[in-house]
A and B are shown apart, each in its own frame.
Chain A
């Protein structure tokens, strides 16, 4: 029975020789993740199960990243409940403020993700870890509770779409533009219930941060997971961060894909998703004159060191437009420190950018950059739904760090090429 990458990982974790799409299976889990919004609900469900033990305290990660540092009293209560649960169950991977980062940047960096793992997280962007060849997917709080208690989760084995990547990205074009381009092409439900598997000769031209960004937004096409073939670049990252041996799965040569898309990376332009869906995309030359009030650079999608370098390269020697509030959120403490050592934070502060401690904050309209009625933001985040970043009358335009940085300088959505040429 021929299988895709995702199917092979699932079969192994279900102790089955092979699986086929549509089959319902129970799989073992290598990691269960929750954050300060989803974990409190999971704790309530966990209590209903009538057990006080977690399946493995080294295979659970709890990250207070959404409404932290605590935005209000209610958020503080939720974080406290999560902290007490972590202490009570002696959870090894609880990350307090000062150590924490945005979960999907933090977990790979902390060596909690390995190639070949099955990971569930009570956060939809858990699909990020496919960049390292893991099967990882977002679930709800009840799944998280059951996962913490049993170390297992139920899945309907997904079918898959293959993306055959070739060529090399042009200057100022990044993984964000690739995934926005793909979502624009297939739609917000274009991969509903399916795996998005990325392969081809162009993969080697994408750095690991580009791959994290691409897998991160697989959910915005409705996918169950996104996954890259493991190559030298992924192995190098794993060697630096993870103690275990990677387990590499390759799709069978005759594996069945519902569809194959060929994407020539050299043809992709900077891409922007207009309100109010991530598939409402336009290339930068089709954007027109969109004045912005706020620029957000960060999030689980684009808060990594490559993203900050791309933004700093554009902002260096420039000043943020007087009508714009520009905010940068390094995704983890380690990235923050690295950005400081590389002089990136100095470039940001000198340009008039507000630099924050890691938090999901504004991406979901939580805090640290909530929009008023009628305001527009260009953001390197992942969703531009109605009210996503604040008032239901506000608008979010999704873009790459380079486009966001260029827009901060001019005050309207701008091609980074224009800044570098002038």
Chain B
């Protein structure tokens, strides 16, 4: 599985309240949630993002609330992968549980700026900045989590394992 797209670049401690403000949480409709994604810090994001684009941010991405609406809004907006220096723990497990690919790689984050074209090879964890021709290796997931990603999330995994 591979992804290639244009980078939307954010800073440290991007919290779930700016990914999807609580005032829009009165719906579970993923498309509606996506239309408000990042609105409080980047009002143009939802209009400019295209299917396959990549989000890159600093430390502690997704801190704050447990709202799964946050990774869901990002995924539904068209973002194919989030690369960050580190992820807050609930966002981390929510992203894996719903099948939004995420990669931790502080070195890559330092070498990528807004508007760069970046490609990601999920099987090897290789991140390439096509605009500068630099490559990095992200930390690989443990096998249990790789299985869950291959099953497109926790629900698919549990069904395949016959746990339900």
A interface residues (Cβ-Cβ under 8 A, vs B): 24, 37-38, 40-41, 44-45, 48-51, 66-67, 71-72, 74-75, 78, 121-124, 126, 138-143, 145-146, 149-150, 152, 154, 188-189, 192-193, 219, 222, 224, 277, 364-366, 370, 383, 385-388, 390, 392
Contacts and interface: CB of A to CB of B under 8 A. Distances in A.
Contacts of A41: 28, 68-69, 72
Contacts of A390: 23
Given A66-B25, A150-B163, A277-B13, 16 more contacts: A37-B69, A49-B159, A51-B164, A121-B66, A138-B66, A138-B90, A139-B90, A140-B68, A140-B93, A140-B98, A143-B93, A145-B155, A146-B158, A189-B63, A385-B18, A388-B17
Interface of B: 13, 15, 17-18, 21-23, 25-28, 40-41, 59-60, 63-69, 71-72, 86, 88-90, 93-94, 97-98, 142, 144-145, 153-155, 158-159, 163-164
Contact of B64 (A24, A365, A385): A385
Contacts of A51: 164
Contacts of A38: 66-68
A139 B26 contact: no
Nearest to B25: A37
A78 B27 CA distance: 7
A303 B68 CA distance: 26
Nearest to A74: B26
A383 B17 CA distance: 10
Given A51-B164, A188-B60, A385-B15, A140 B22 contact: no
Nearest to A191: B89
A189 B28 CA distance: 29
B33 to A, nearest CB: 10
B66 A24 contact: no
A44 B28 contact: yes
A365 B28 contact: no
Given A365-B22, A366-B22, A387-B18, A139 B64 contact: no
A45 B69 CA distance: 13
B23 A366 contact: yes
A49 B144 contact: no
A124 B17 CA distance: 12
B68 to A, nearest CB: 4
A122 B66 contact: yes
B164 A24 contact: no
Contacts of A365: 17, 21-23
A49 B63 contact: no
A78 B26 contact: yes
Given A24-B144, A145-B155, A386-B40, A140 B164 contact: no
A49 B40 contact: no
